[in-house]
Structure 1
């Protein structure tokens, strides 16, 4: 079988977090050592910059680059993230915490699962995840997830950060390792008769050629959609939020709480969406993610400012979001990443995780991809299937936040009535009717983006159940429940509580 011609040059179109993540990852990978890497970005296009939170996966990405937290966090105004506090999602003033789960939580988490199953089958009071996970206790006490002494296992946490500064940090990292940066506007893209990208034509007339291209051009998707015509699947009728209005405030100006959250994200439900509050070291990021079909931009700005006690004259920033996924992330000689590939609204901070997942899968397939035509096709199919599966899994979980809400505003009523997948329909039905939810989680294991602790945190936290249901179930004793809660508190005091607090 004929061996393919080796790839000698890769061009990344677009900077921002996604583009520079790609540049840094490839520059650090010995598989790409002999390949010329070039990134083209415009200084006339600003970054979206709203994704200031991460999942725990980002730590692995930075570790793989050999970057320590002390090297990047201060420069990016970063703080640690233990999870997300969901506030008033049922319109009753209640809240619950979606924690990051790690090995030390196994025993108390099991007690939470049993109590949650008892509740949904008609036994016992509402039970929330907050007290049964170490990160929930950390959030309640406003403590960092970085331990004061060595843990017997690896703990899980994410970050909050300034997305622009993170992109700048990764830019410096990549350029020091040989990535060439070109600041220019791409005005035209030429393709071959076989629908391969051939050259990027710059505003000054210069033509840039490469063997392979990575499309990190954001929502414009200049290569994957505009040049190659790969279809885009919109989720606009399944996830209603398509807009955001944002306003940062200095860290000491947070007037919404007596004690500002330092180590977790807040997600507060509002009339036509939800408000994020993300604590960085120098500012509190605030943003209202909403549906423009249910609220005007001016009304959204007014509601945002009122919610955080700022005057209506405060300057805000408006953003539009394209929610959906490319039919293919990898088509011919183009790999789409970041917003050019997919975007599920920022509720669970999954955008950077998707970029990281795509890059890691691409790098693992790259050597095989170069072997021959058959391996090339198989590599693309493998990545595209994996990306689509993860995107749809994320969509299921995000939709579950809305379709389980009991809020009565027109937006929330509409959000409950959207089309959902057969998989999500079965999961919600099993939970609501007191059936074997864990069996379904097991059956769908390979298709789910989120696993047992997250699903239980959401559905028990929302107290999603049939209030008339009474099915046989033996609840766990109050004594064991108290012991589980005490266990988490003791862990936090032993490993995370400051010595002189």
Structure 2
């Protein structure tokens, strides 16, 4: 039985300040002293980031209203993600945020998708059968201006560096101590727990517990504790990104992210209220940094020689023991799965909130060994679930137009659970029963898998018998149902 009274966070950025804010806001039985050490040497990319709906709940848990923080972070609303050209040139489908208003129309979509994969129906995508899909089509913000029986689910586009500043101000006001300094040496005790950190300035900081938010450097979890990093490179080939901002030019921010497949990866387009964040996530084995700049510039119609590109090398994978000894790794120190579904902050938030719950629910009589084991198992399950859903975007694609796409669409690298999911869908078996059986291990649930598989028209064409046209009134009814809700309850994104 151990008592945590002093927590030291190494690293600022969004992850570090999220942890500081959440810990400072927690109602622990015994007061906890929190110190955050932030390096002056680490810069930020700051070209725009997207979120899942979990960020909405995180900010609300700290007491923020959307008007408190969105304007300070250039934030706009996000209803979901359009996937362009992922299956072939001109293909498009939408991954929505699912809510209770979607239940009945979505059942029609699920039925149509099942009919198609079993060989007797036309290709149909889910855009018209989800409220967020209709809001995206109409360019309406997902925040209702009149009361609805169900609160819609939505995410945000925002400037991550500015969000970190908002959280920093909140944490400092709650009493978090802040040091701008660099860790030079890590001192461990006889049990290999970290006892204190020696800093460049000459001072040292001791603690009962340490949080590693130092990014890919992983100062504590890797350099000090030597916890191994498990690469996902065999399944996810992308290991680099180039980013650049462009002007809105008076354009109203669209309430959705765009992910467009390119020759050696994909590009994002994230509209903030002040600018547009753009980037190209690619495989360095198939494309040089300069080639990536040129391809991205051509897509954006900008001058590659006069643009402020920022390059990032990505370390895609995870640590299965992010909580080791008295260290908890969060953010990039723990894991990184390419940002295709904007899951990075969701994983970070889950890790922080689960640790906070350990302190608030079990503290001071806290069995850290048991808590640590459960935490690592659950977080590993989440990250592996995210990885398999993202991998499915590639192996369902029909693209073979470059060496990159010929490599990433190969099924050989699929893990057994993803292979089972895809086989079940492709062979016309009971997909809903499989989703129910795998429920505890999935990061994404049935609506997301349906949106992906139907959107990519993933099926065995040998099963195709004949096409039964869907009565137009079926789609019209779904469109009209959501269109009336959208027009009556939601406003333009600029309002």
Structure 1 length as normaliser, TM-score?
0.94
- Distance between the aligned counterparts of 1:63 and 1:402, measured in 2? 35
SS of residue matched to 1:145: strand
Structure 1 residues 37-436: aligned runs within 5 Å: 37-49=34-46, 52-252=49-249, 262-313=254-305, 314-366=307-359, 375-408=367-400, 409-417=402-410, 419-436=413-430
| Equivalent pair of 1:89/1:405 in contact (CA under 8 Å) | yes
SS of residue matched to 1:225: coil
- Distance between the aligned counterparts of 2:494 and 2:443, measured in 1? 40
- Distance between the aligned counterparts of 1:353 and 1:195, measured in 2? 30
- Distance between the aligned counterparts of 1:471 and 1:366, measured in 2? 58
Partner of 1:483: 477
Number of aligned residues: 492
Do residues 446 (structure 1) and 440 (structure 2) align? Answer: yes
Residue 190 of structure 1: how far off its partner (Å): 1.3
Task: Say what the alpha-carbon RMSD is for the aligned residues.
Answer: 2.0
- Distance between the aligned counterparts of 2:349 and 2:472, measured in 1? 43
Partner of 1:256: none
Gaps of 5+ in 1: 254-258
| Equivalent pair of 1:107/1:484 in contact (CA under 8 Å) | no
- Distance between the aligned counterparts of 1:68 and 1:86, measured in 2? 30
Which contiguous aligned blocks of 4+ residues in structure 1 show a shift greater than 2 angstroms? 47-51, 366-373, 470-482, 497-501
| Equivalent pair of 1:369/1:379 in contact (CA under 8 Å) | no
Residue 366 of structure 1: how far off its partner (Å): 2.3
- Distance between the aligned counterparts of 1:231 and 1:166, measured in 2? 30
SS of residue matched to 2:269: strand
- Distance between the aligned counterparts of 1:136 and 1:71, measured in 2? 27
| Equivalent pair of 2:254/2:493 in contact (CA under 8 Å) | no
Q: 1:120 to 1:78 in 2, by over 3 A?
A: same
Q: 1:472 to 1:371 in 2, by over 3 A?
A: farther
Residue 315 of structure 1: how far off its partner (Å): 2.6
- Distance between the aligned counterparts of 2:26 and 2:72, measured in 1? 24
Judge which range, 147-156 or 160-169, deviates more: 147-156
- Distance between the aligned counterparts of 2:160 and 2:370, measured in 1? 34
Judge which range, 114-123 or 486-495, deviates more: 486-495
Partner of 1:494: 488
| Equivalent pair of 1:108/1:485 in contact (CA under 8 Å) | no
- Distance between the aligned counterparts of 2:161 and 2:493, measured in 1? 35
Residue 340 of structure 1: how far off its partner (Å): 0.4
Residue 306 of structure 1: how far off its partner (Å): 0.6
Q: 1:260 to 1:277 in 2, by over 3 A?
A: farther
Partner of 1:13: 10
- Distance between the aligned counterparts of 1:295 and 1:13, measured in 2? 34
For residues 285-334 of structure 1, the C-alpha deviation after alignment (integer angstroms, 9 at most, x for no partner) is 00000000111111011100011101121231111111000120101100
Residue 102 of structure 1: how far off its partner (Å): 0.8
| Equivalent pair of 2:141/2:492 in contact (CA under 8 Å) | no
Aligned match for 1:34, one of 31, 39, 57: 31
Structure 2 length as normaliser, TM-score?
0.96
| Equivalent pair of 2:243/2:310 in contact (CA under 8 Å) | yes
- Distance between the aligned counterparts of 1:470 and 1:306, measured in 2? 39
Q: 1:296 to 1:200 in 2, by over 3 A?
A: same
